[in-house]
Amino acid sequence: MDDLERKRLTTASFGELADAYLDSDVHRTGADLELLASWCDDATCALDIACGAGHTAVALTEAGVSTVVAADATSAMVETATETFDLVGTVADAERLPFADDAFDAVTCRIAAHHFPTPNAFVREVARVLAPGGIFAFEDNVAPNDEQLADFFDQFERLRDPCHGEAFSVAQWHDRFREAGFTVDESATVRKELEYESWVDRTNPDEERREELNELVRRPEAKTVYGVTVEDGVVRGFGNEKVLIRATK
């Protein structure tokens, strides 16, 4: 599958899932969301890339940012965000942003970059649209440093969500930011506990994929990567690590 096909698949898939993401506790609440928004509270004009159902964009307005643009490649996500939260929205490819150079003094992207086919292009685009001194507040899932565990992580995530591309380590994201001209000011990893069944349900996999997921989640690798605990045959403990990075252009 080439990059264009992946983008089409992602757009079509997420077009059917807007309501599920609107109601997702992982996306609509959390200390990670509050921290990301607080990093941008001095901004006057911010862009939220891959806005999903709009939770990060509205958190920016609540933090005091006067102008926030919610952008997503999926029109249904933009419609959900703008209609639910009265935001300004636009349909936009994260790797080819339709904005002028230096247009924003803050950019956010939360739990989305693992879907992007060319993350280097995405980071370069953020650098282009950010004004000098602007803040890039970023969050995404973290891949384990161990190569075999990283492969397991991506395999598991793709089985649940065929639009999943690749997750990267903290060091890989830091390198990518610096290569694009950013200074990494702050970086933190957080573990987010998830409810396994609702996490699976959010992407609405068919029965065959559900059965495969239920097999993989009981493997030793899953215990290491996701902190899985199983009681009476039921997955109880489950979560993943995310990295939050505050960078300055």
Asked whether residue 214 is assigned to any structural domain, the reply reads no
142-195 pLDDT, tens per residue? 999 999 999 999 999 999 988 899 999 999 999 999 999 999 999 999 998 989
Q: How many domains does the chain have?
A: 1
35-75 pLDDT, tens per residue? 999 999 999 999 999 999 899 999 999 999 999 999 999 99
Q: What CATH number is given to the structural domain containing 57? A: 3.40.50.150
Asked whether residue 218 is assigned to any structural domain, the reply reads no
Asked whether residue 17 is assigned to any structural domain, the reply reads yes
* Domain span including residue 28: 3-143+163-193+241-248
Strands, E, within the chain: which ranges?
Answer: 45-49, 67-72, 88-91, 104-110, 130-141, 183-193, 229-231, 234-237, 239-248
Asked whether residue 153 is assigned to any structural domain, the reply reads no
pTM for the model stands at: 0.90
Asked whether residue 100 is assigned to any structural domain, the reply reads yes
State the CB neighbour count (10 A cutoff) for residue 50: 25
* 163: three-class secondary structure by DSSP: coil
Dihedral Cα 131, 132, 135, 136, nearest 10 deg: 70
